[in-house]
Structure 1
Amino acid sequence: MIRLHTVATVALLLVFGLWAACGNDPRARRADSELGGSILVSAATSLTAPFTQIGQNFTRAHRAVDVQFNFGASSALADQIVAGNSSDVFASADQANVTKLDDAGLLAGRAAVFARNRLAIVTKPGNPEGIRSLADLPAAGVISLCDLAVPCGKYAAQALEAAKVSVPEGRVTRGQNVRATLTAVTDSDAVAAIVYASDAKGAGARVATVVLPDSKNVIAVYPAVTLKAARNAMTAKAFVAFLRGAKGQRILKEFGFLAPA
């Protein structure tokens, strides 16, 4: 009888395990069912690739959730939100634009830094101009830089100023965001550009990358925050938490971002 009881117990456990694995365990479904509805995430252009994948992972974990993205320059997105854009989450490539929204009383809480980034120089494949550092840019030809109003433009200006390098404005073409700035090189409108290291990595063989040493680099900080106007605050907060969690951090690292300090 003892042997039969043991076998029966094991069988019941196996059946229960299969039942749970098929998604019938209410305990497994409970966490998933707590979140639902749609959220709109306004995020910096440089986050396009990782956030697209993060959104897919987040919705797989929470099947009743739909995540939509509005990508653009952080400064433009902040202006849209101030003007009444109904985003749930704002993810910026700098702190300044989050502060702008905080000063306007539009944040639901404190922003959380979820990633950092470096700058890099990109050139045409093979680096035909032989660019090795920021000091080579003034004599290289047309240089693509982000507009000074957007974070990548401000970071590039800081790096050039610290290196005591001045590129004549007449030899500069400016992009409205980091993607447009990099595209100037791939479309042969510029010989080089200063962009985020993550964008340089994402461009792959379309560009050659010149790594800037830490002493000549500027670190970009990426904060995310739930907005007061969020229509789905619980899911918005969960998305921000997901960014800082193990899965979100793994994806960001794969796309060339640094962990938050």
Structure 2
Amino acid sequence: MTRTARRNRRTLQWAGAGAAALLALSACSSSDDSSSTGSGSSASASASSSSSEQVSGTVTVFAAASLKESFEKLGEQFEQQHPGTKVTFSFGGSDSLAASITGGAPADVFASASPKTMKIVTDAGDAAGTPATFVRNQLEIATLPGNPDKVGSLKDLTNPDLKVVLCDEAVPCGAAAQKALDASKLKLTPVSYEEDVKSALNKVVLKEADAAVVYKTDVKAAGDKVEGVEFPESADAVNDYPIALLKDAPNAAAAKAFIALVQSPEGRQVLTEAGFLEP
């Protein structure tokens, strides 16, 4: 066989091998495409499933008045994280909020300033599951800016010349204040008992009272409108704050997502920055 013939034969062999390789590659490519298509379908199904689990609509939160600033901030974050949602709040004394819930008021979440007021809701069978403590709060004396009356202790509030305001004992901040007074064996006659902690603080802000026993978080939220005075007896009256999904929540999915945000590291940061204590 001539050199030219051998070269032509070798060329044909290479061409045949190349064609076989191309066929193999084509088969692999086809197989990969098929696999890729299957994967894409799964991803689409997963995305669709995820989309169907996304929350939307309005979530209604009943929360203790002392949570106002923190929860409003968390509400804004929640709406940003979940486009299409809206968080509406009803703030007030935990006892009155609990009464509203047991009376049939439509709500998704209840965040109380004490286990005692949360128990009103759980005993009525209106909570879904067991409430969880998410923060704690401690009392502080709020005085006029600059503390002109030189209030330095809980005992100073017994001065009959001072106009002092307390929360009603049915409200967690009032119950805690009374507990601190009892532990100190002090008797205090306030000029008024207020329905929630914000109302008590506002009496000082408006200069209608010289001092009020409120939460540290409320003093901090008021900024330079009041001055805070710590007292050691407050350590004996620290309040746990429980939160719960409500049994007949109109928007349970969004409610669960909001509670998750409150309990998350991000939510915890907002609350601790406001002065709340770790649970």
TM-score bin (small chain): 0.7 to 0.9
Pick the aligned partner of 1:35 from 52, 55, 61.
55
Pick the aligned partner of 2:170 from 149, 172, 177.
149
Is residue 2:66 matched to residue 1:51? no
Q: Offset at 1:143?
A: 0.6
Q: What are the equivalent positions in structure 2 for 1:183-222 lying under 5 Å apart? A: 183-213=202-232, 216-222=235-241
Helix, strand or coil for the counterpart of 1:181? helix
Helix, strand or coil for the counterpart of 1:165? coil
Q: Offset at 1:126?
A: 1.1
1:181 maps to which residue? Answer: 200
Distance 1:191 1:147 in 2: 17
Q: Which amino acid aligns with 1:197?
A: K
CA contact (8 A) 2:140 2:234 kept: no
Distance 2:214 2:205 in 1: 13
Distance 2:206 2:182 in 1: 27
Distance 1:97 1:167 in 2: 24
Return the index of the structure with the highest Cα Rg. Answer: 2
Instruction: Write out per-residue CA displacement over residues 184-221 of structure 1, whole angstroms, 9 at most, x where no aligned residue.
Output: 11112111110000001111111111012367542111
Q: Offset at 1:242?
A: 1.1
Is residue 2:147 matched to residue 1:127? yes
Report the CA distance shift for 1:48/1:37 in structure 2 as closer, same or farther (over 3 A).
same
Q: Which amino acid aligns with 2:198?
A: R
- RMSD between superposed Cα atoms in Å: 1.9
Pick the aligned partner of 1:167 from 170, 185, 188.
188
Q: What are the equivalent positions in structure 2 for 1:230-249 lying under 5 Å apart? A: 230-249=249-268
Helix, strand or coil for the counterpart of 1:120? strand
* Count, aligned residues: 233
Distance 1:32 1:156 in 2: 47
CA contact (8 A) 2:139 2:234 kept: no
Q: Percent identity?
A: 41
Q: What are the equivalent positions in structure 2 for 1:11-30 lying under 5 Å apart? A: 30=50
Instruction: Write out per-residue CA displacement over residues 112-151 of structure 1, whole angstroms, 9 at most, x where no aligned residue.
Output: 1111111000111111111111011111511110011111
Helix, strand or coil for the counterpart of 1:252? helix
TM-score, normalised on structure 1?
Answer: 0.85
Distance 1:222 1:184 in 2: 24
Moved more, 209-218 or 58-67: 209-218
Q: Offset at 1:43?
A: 0.4
Q: Offset at 1:239?
A: 1.1
TM-score, normalised on structure 2?
Answer: 0.79
Q: Which amino acid aligns with 1:166?
A: K
2:127 maps to which residue? Answer: 107
Gaps of 5+ in 2: 1-45
Instruction: Write out per-residue CA displacement over residues 148-190 of structure 1, whole angstroms, 9 at most, x where no aligned residue.
Output: 111111011001111111113xx43111110110111111211
1:60 maps to which residue? Answer: 80
2:117 maps to which residue? Answer: 97
Helix, strand or coil for the counterpart of 1:189? coil
Q: Which amino acid aligns with 1:59?
A: E
Distance 2:146 2:51 in 1: 51
